[in-house]
Amino acid sequence: MPHVAIVGATGAVGDLIRQLLSERNFPVDSIKFLASDRSAGKEVSFRGEKHRVQPIRAEAFDGVDIVLSSTPSSVSREFSPLAARAGATVVDNSSAWRMDPEVPLVVPEVNADALRSIPKRIVANPNCVAIPLTVVLKPLHELAGLKRVVVATYQSSSGKGAKGLLDFQNQLLAYASGRPVPPPQAHRGQLVGNVITLDWTLDPNGYTEEENKVINETRKILAMPELAVTVTCVRVPVRVSHSEAVNVEFARPISVEQARDVLAQAPGIVLMDERKGEVPQPIHAEGRDEVFVGRIRRDESVAHGLNLWLVADNLRKGAASNAVQIAERLLERA
């Protein structure tokens, strides 16, 4: 029975982690809820009991076995190492540690074996697009060998957190009533009635930071550093769940039926069949931990290619659920 701390406990992902620990009956001897000084003192409920949120301090990690952290990268760089030095294993949801060669970047359905070695006592939780993408790519790679992956994302407003959802809601209310849409506060443009092709910081190579994260993290999770991956990320007027249009070129022959069969048996996937009128949509994935996959079809432009469509709840499988699943695997290995 581990002693647990949730860091960033009052944020959207931290709040969901708290719910998921109860939903999944995660064993807990004791639990602490930590947040910024601004949120310290608030009360949260866990399994019928009230807990007061404590400020993030080095001494707060004394006696803690597992830390589930969801903070900005700058906070993570300061406090995750402190928690690790205190003896905890940290599951970190920020981007701070993902590309550190001494930090495993883990999707339990894909590369749980990476948890055999945790030199810094920090495990990184991947990007909300890379997680569902690799859940789907792994079984296909084992079947036919990945050669090239092209991804276009359709990412929901909640990817910007609670501020993004509030921004979208305010725009939606104004748009629906015929009033002028207020200037964006979280997104980089009007989202309602629109899509935003540059809702992230632009990196020097012309890709956004989000696109570069997906490329680099997909390679690391799959242990394929030379995999050809290219990504275009777009924000769409949807509250929750990210969608991805994925084109895959394989090294060996693969049929649509073979792909369906292997995905139907893969962990963490719900296969939907358009021949039965089933098409993955954001509303299917919201509140669920599985990755929904459909629209599987041949890419006639290459020798061995497929197109497919996937959807996952970016707050759950794209963040909180994956973190809790990692913690469950850590307990199994203890």
For every residue of 137-162, which 3-state class applies, written as one string?
A: HHHHHHHHCEEEEEEEEEECHHHHHH
Q: Which helix (H) or strand (E) holds 246?
A: strand 242-250
Q: Which helix (H) or strand (E) holds 110?
A: helix 108-111
Q: Report whether 308 contacts 291 (CB < 8 A).
A: no
Cα–Cα nearest to 200, from 190, 192, 210, 191: 210
CA distance 244 to 231: 10
Sign of CA dihedral 214, 301, 245, 278: negative
Cα–Cα nearest to 231, from 158, 164, 137: 137
Catalytic residue among 128, 141, 187, 284: 128
Q: Is 145 exposed, middle or buried (0-12, 13-18, 19+ CB in 10 A)?
A: middle
CA distance 214 to 129: 6
Q: What does the buried/exposed string (b/e) look like for 240-276 if buried means 16 or more CB atoms within 10 Å of the residue's CB? A: bbbbbebbbbbeeebeeeebbebbeebebbbbbeeee
CA distances in angstroms from 185 to 74, 163, 315, listed in the order given: 22, 8, 20
Helix, coil or strand: residue 288: coil
Catalytic residue among 141, 187, 242, 284: 242
Which residues have a Cβ under 8 Å from the Cβ of 130 and sit 6 or more positions away? Answer: 107, 213, 214, 217, 218, 221
Give residue for tokens 């859940």: 135
Active site residue 242: yes
How many angstroms from the chain centroid is the CA of residue 185?
Answer: 23
Active-site residue set: 128, 242
